[in-house]
Structure 1
Amino acid sequence: MNLREAQQRFHRLCLRLFDALGYEVAAETLQGEVRIDASVRKDEEHLLVEFVVVPARRPGLGILRDKVAGARAQMVETGSSARQRVLLSCMLDPAHLEWLQSEFDMEIWGRERILDELAALPADYQSLKKDFQEFVAKLRRLELVTLRASKNDVAGTTAPAPPPLPGFAESPVSPLDFGEAEEFSKYGDLRKRLVDTKRGPSHAKAYEVLIQDIVRYLFGDFLVDPRPQRRTERGLDFMDITYRVRSGHPFWDTLTRDFRTRAIIFECKNYTKGITPSQIYSTERYVNVGALRSVCFLVSREKPHEHAELAAFGAMREGGKLFVLLDDSHLHQMLNIRETQLRREAEKKTLKRDFEDDPSEVLDQAIYDFLTRMGR
C-alpha cells in the first residue's frame, strides 16, 4: 500500500464510520467552489470533515501543525458556518492534541479516538472494525518504510519493526517513569508555580523569576545570558529579561534573521486583567531596531484587550518592531509540549533535540496569526 492508496482507503473507512455513527454522509462534496472530503449531518449537527493520512505513527508537532492547518484552510475557504473536524490516521500525544484543537479551534480525531468509536459500535459492524484493523496493520508497514527513508535516520542502520497490534485497540500513550530526572521534575513544579503565583504589582518580581525559569526550561540551550531588569543607555527605562540567542535552533535562528535582532526581550506583566495599548506604547520605547533588539514577547496573565493588538500592529507597521502577545494559556501549552518532547527523546534514547516536537511551534503559530491579521 502506497501513500495514495492509504489516503483513498482511509477516506472510505472514515465515511463508513460516520455512516455507522448515524450521520447522513455526503462524500467529496462541493461547498461553493471548494471540494471537501465529507459533509455529514445528524439531527441539528452539521460537520465539514477532512480525512488526512500521516505516514508516521506518532509524528512530530511540526508535521501535525502543517497537516491540520492545511485541512482547516480548506474548510474555512468554504465560508460555511458548519463545525469542522479533522480525522488523522496517526496516534496523537495528549499535549499535541490539546494545543492543536485550541489553536485551530476545531475538533481533531487521531487513531486512538477512531479506534474508540469503532470499539463502541455494536457487533453488526464487525466487518468495519476488521477492515480498519487491517488498514492500520498495512499503514504501520508504510510508516516503517517512511521511518527508514527519513533523513533523520543514521545511514546504514535499520529501523526496528513495529510491535504487533495488541488485538484491536492500540496501547494508549503512557508516561515514562522519569524518576529523579531534573528536567522532568521541573515540569510539574513550573506548572504549579504558574497556577499559584498571585497576580498584581506586589507579586511582579515573583512572576518575572517564574517566566525566566520557564524560558530556561523551554529554550535554555538557545536563549542564554538573561539580563533581568537591564537598564537602557539613559538609565530611564528597563527591560524585564533580555536574552542573547545562541544559534542552532531553527525557530530562533529564523526569527533573529528575519527581524534583524541580536537580543530577545521578554516583558512580564503580572496584571490582574489583560494588557491594554498603553502597555505596548510604554514598552515600545526600548524595543529598538537600531540597537538590534526589535522583538519583544510581552507575557501577561490574561488574554490582551483587543485594542492592544491594534497597537502592536502599529508598532510593526511603523517601526518594524514585533510584539508577540502571550498569556498563561500559551505557557501551559508550551510546558505540555516540552514535557512530551523530553519524554519522546527519552524513548528514542537520544540527547539530540527533536525540533519536530518543539514548543516553539506555539510561538511560530502566534507570530504567523499576528502577521496574517495585520492590515496594510
Structure 2
Amino acid sequence: MNYQHHKEFEEIISQLLELMGYSIELRTRLDKGVDIIANRKNVKKYIEIKFYRSAHIPASVITESANRLAYNLKQQNGNSGTLIVNSLVGIALKNKIIDDYGISIWDRNTLYSFLTTLSSDLRDQFEKLLLEAQQGTNTNYVFGGFESEKLNEESEDKNTQVNFKTIPVNKGAHLYKELQKIQCGKNDWNAYEKKCKEILEFLFENDLSLWDKQTRTDDGLSRFDLICRIASSDDYWKALINAFNTRFILFEFKNYCAKISQDQIYTTERYLFNKALRSVGFIISRLGGTDGAIQAAKGSLKEHGKLIMILSDENLCEMLKLKDNGDSPNDYLSNLLDKWLISLSR
C-alpha cells in the first residue's frame, strides 16, 4: 500500500463527507478497524477506507473487508458501516454485501457521482490521484466503464443491522511465524521452498494459476522451482503482460544464510525466455540480494529486457500483513517495481 495515496484519498473523503453535511468525529483507541466516524442526523457512520492501485479488485477481497468491518463494529456496538474504495465494485456485489453484512459500499462510481454534484474541484483531485496510481502503460480514462446506479444519499442516514459471518483470522501472520521457524541453510531448503509456495498461493490466489512445481525444460537440463501463469484482472499483473510480454512468472527460492550473489541472478536469467512468454522472474531468499546481485538484475533488464525481482523474507512479511488487513500485496509489488524502474541508469 502507498501510504501517501491512502492519506490523500482519506482527505478527499473527509472533505466530501463535510460537503454532504456530516461532522467528522475524532476516533479513539477503541475504534478499531475504522478510519473515519461521521455523524449526520444523529446517525454515526463508521467508515473504513481502502485505496488500491488497480481499478478492479477481486470480490473476495471486498467481501473479506466488509466482514472484518462488520466484526469490528459488532465489538463497538456500531450500527452503520461503510466501506469506501477507489476501485470499481459491481452493483450485484454491493447489494449482496448490504444483504449479508449490513455494510454499504462506496466505490469509484459512487464517489464520482457525489463529487460531480458537490465539488468539481474535489472530483479533479480524485481524478489526479487515480491517474498517479495507474500502473505500467495504462492510460485509460479513470472514470470510464461505470455501471448505471441510482444513488439515494438520504438512505445513508439509516441504521442497518451489521452482521459478520466469520471471525477474521490473520492467516498471513500465522504463515510468517511458520516461515521464521525454518532454519536457513541446505538442510531445510525443501521446507523453505514449500512454505514460500504456500505463502505465494495465499497472497496471489486471485492472480496466478498453474502453480507448477519443479518443472524441467524440454531438454531436461534446467529445473524451475515454481512457474505460474498470470490469470488476473489486477492492473499490476496486466502491466507485466503488456510491458514485458510475459504470461508466465518464474519463482526461485534460495534458503541461504547470506544474501544471494550475482551468480544466482545469472542462473535465473538463463531460465527466462521472451519468445516463450516467460520474461519475468522472482528470486525469494531469506535476506535479499547483495549490491552485486541487484546490479546484475538491473543489467539483465537493460540488456535483455528480462525482469528479475529480488524479494526477502521481510518483503513477504509486509505483503502478508497487507493481505491480512484487506489491502493488496499487488500494490506492494507495484511500488517496488516503480522504485526499481526509476533507479535504472542508462
State the TM bucket, normalised to the shorter chain: 0.5 to 0.7
Structure 2, unmatched stretches of 5+, are 1-10, 19-45, 54-67, 69-107, 115-142
- Which portions of structure 1, spanning 4 or more consecutive aligned residues, are displaced by more than 3 angstroms? 2-7, 56-59, 145-154, 157-164, 176-179
Which residue does the alignment assign to 1:375? 345
Instruction: Output the CA distance in 1 between the equivalents of 2:14 and 2:324.
Output: 35
- In structure 2, relative to structure 1, the CA distance for the partners of 1:162 and 1:263 (3 Å cut) is farther
Which residue does the alignment assign to 1:288? 273
| Amino acid paired to 1:220 | E
Q: Is the 8 A contact 1:147 1:153 kept in 2?
A: no
| Amino acid paired to 2:229 | R
Which residue does the alignment assign to 1:130? none
Superposed CA RMSD in Å reads 3.5
Give the deviation of 1:254 after TM superposition.
Answer: 1.8
- In structure 2, relative to structure 1, the CA distance for the partners of 1:288 and 1:156 (3 Å cut) is same
Give the deviation of 1:186 after TM superposition.
Answer: 3.1
1:86-138 deviation line (CA, Å, top 9, x unaligned): xxxxxxx9xxxxxxxxxxxxxxxxxxxxxxxxxxxxxxxxxxxxxxxxxxxxx
Q: Residue 278 of structure 2: SS of its match in structure 1?
A: coil
Give the deviation of 1:4 after TM superposition.
Answer: 12
Give yes or no for the alignment of 1:242 onto 2:236.
Answer: no
Q: Residue 336 of structure 1: SS of its match in structure 2?
A: helix
Give yes or no for the alignment of 1:263 onto 2:248.
Answer: yes
2:188 is aligned, of 194, 203, 215, to 203
Q: Is the 8 A contact 1:268 1:299 kept in 2?
A: yes
Length-normalised TM-score, structure 1: 0.52
Number of positions where the alignment pairs a residue of Structure 1 with one of Structure 2: 222
Which residue does the alignment assign to 2:49? 59
| Amino acid paired to 1:156 | K
Give the deviation of 1:62 after TM superposition.
Answer: 3.2
Which residue does the alignment assign to 1:308? 293
| Amino acid paired to 1:335 | L
1:359 is aligned, of 329, 333, 343, to 329
| Amino acid paired to 2:149 | A
Aligned-pair identity in percent equals 30
Which residue does the alignment assign to 2:212? 227
Q: Residue 179 of structure 2: SS of its match in structure 1?
A: helix
Which residue does the alignment assign to 2:197? 212
Q: Is the 8 A contact 1:337 1:358 kept in 2?
A: yes
Residues 79-118 of structure 1 mapped to structure 2, 5 A cutoff: none
1:338 is aligned, of 311, 316, 323, to 323
Residues 150-165 of structure 1 mapped to structure 2, 5 A cutoff: 155-158=149-152, 161=156
Name which structure has the greater RCO, CA cutoff 8 Å, separation 6+.
Answer: 2
Residues 7-156 of structure 1 mapped to structure 2, 5 A cutoff: 58-62=48-52, 146=111, 149=114, 155-156=149-150
Give the deviation of 1:256 after TM superposition.
Answer: 1.4
1:305-339 deviation line (CA, Å, top 9, x unaligned): 11111100111011110011111111111111111
More off after superposition, 247-256 vs 220-229: 247-256
Which residue does the alignment assign to 1:194? 179
Which residue does the alignment assign to 2:312? 327
- In structure 2, relative to structure 1, the CA distance for the partners of 1:178 and 1:192 (3 Å cut) is farther
Q: Is the 8 A contact 1:274 1:300 kept in 2?
A: yes
Give the deviation of 1:154 after TM superposition.
Answer: 7.4
- In structure 2, relative to structure 1, the CA distance for the partners of 1:194 and 1:234 (3 Å cut) is same
Give the deviation of 1:262 after TM superposition.
Answer: 1.5
Give the deviation of 1:204 after TM superposition.
Answer: 1.2
| Amino acid paired to 2:319 | M
- In structure 2, relative to structure 1, the CA distance for the partners of 1:189 and 1:234 (3 Å cut) is same
| Amino acid paired to 1:322 | L
Q: Is the 8 A contact 2:281 2:307 kept in 1?
A: yes
Q: Is the 8 A contact 1:61 1:361 kept in 2?
A: no
1:262-299 deviation line (CA, Å, top 9, x unaligned): 21011111111111111101111111112211000111
Instruction: Output the CA distance in 2 between the equivalents of 1:249 and 1:5.
Output: 27
